[in-house]
Structure 1
């Protein structure tokens, strides 16, 4: 795909000793696709993650695939969503996720693009949402309440404050496509030469 339609980004993780991720945002006729991979060394353990998210044109998550490769072997999670109802790839319903319209694959800034684009907040506006939160590397999934507050623009970037009751509050800066440039305490975009 050409750079006109595919938007790649590389992040270095700032919360672990070693970590690098590459992701792309691709517009499609029926929505958007996010694809990413990441390799991390954390607490003496190395693992690699690859994931994909498909959305509709309103940025609502429709399908999620996450794979992890570690010293323990490989594991995979697949989720589908329709109108706020979620299921595992085999069709098993996940009623705890009812009403979630976004997925948050932990340890990557790429999935923050989903609520940022879907909500379309104006500066000073905030929204509380529930997301399907996927822990990496365990691939457990659960409902998490999150808040996005859009702050004023600065230095050619949009700025947000993200918070949730379990992980705390973080500042995010994003480019014109909603891709994270800097995620306080987690990741920073690697600048292209």
Structure 2
């Protein structure tokens, strides 16, 4: 895979009446930084979220900051990680997250790029991993078991199956940078072309 694109990519949510996300991956001297945000308008919930994820050069998450603006006001969460050991923004250890190298922020397909890049699976291979799941808009944190399976490429896109016990199984297509193009029943990359 090439180095990550430095231009923002936008996605339209397909699981809610109105939702749009935008994000980018930026190289840094000691790793990568993911910057993204999303706005959702649904009957029950309306919110704006913004988040930043930092990784090391091997794509393992080192820090996360997420904030949500909703009818309840603004709420934030900050987590630090080193070698699979996590702490909250105040330095308190989060033992239930030990061993997680990736974070999955529910509002964006961009965090799926992190394990895709980190694992470097070949077609036909799969890997089970534990990730830190941050729910949006609640910002609840939990450990979730996920499986990524890589399939053979089609139409110039790499194909994966993503599975977890909370949400089920989804097909994901990604470009040559590992950035999601289509995430079954969740998002589709926005394109100005008809």
* Shared fold per TM-score greater than 0.5: yes
TM-score when normalising by structure 2: 0.95
Tell me which residue corresponds to 1:156.
156
**What stretches of structure 1 move > 3 A for 4+ residues in a row?**
none
| C-alpha separation in 2, matches of 1:70 and 1:192 | 29
Q: Do 1:7 and 1:24's aligned partners in 2 also have CA atoms closer than 8 Å? A: yes
Root mean square deviation of aligned Cα:
1.1
CA-CA distance at 1:43 after TM superposition: 3.6
The count of aligned residue pairs is 190
CA-CA distance at 1:191 after TM superposition: 1.6
**Residues 87-106 of structure 1, C-alpha deviation per residue, up to 9 Å, x if partnerless?**
10110110000000000001
| C-alpha separation in 1, matches of 2:107 and 2:185 | 11
TM-score when normalising by structure 1: 0.96
- The reply on whether 1:28 has 2:38 as its aligned counterpart is no
Q: Do 1:107 and 1:186's aligned partners in 2 also have CA atoms closer than 8 Å? A: no
Unaligned runs of 5+ in 1: none
Unaligned runs of 5+ in 2: none
Tell me which residue corresponds to 2:7.
7
> For structure 1, which segment, 42-51 or 97-106, has the greater mean C-alpha deviation from structure 2 after superposition?
42-51
| C-alpha separation in 2, matches of 1:154 and 1:5 | 21
CA-CA distance at 1:192 after TM superposition: 4.5
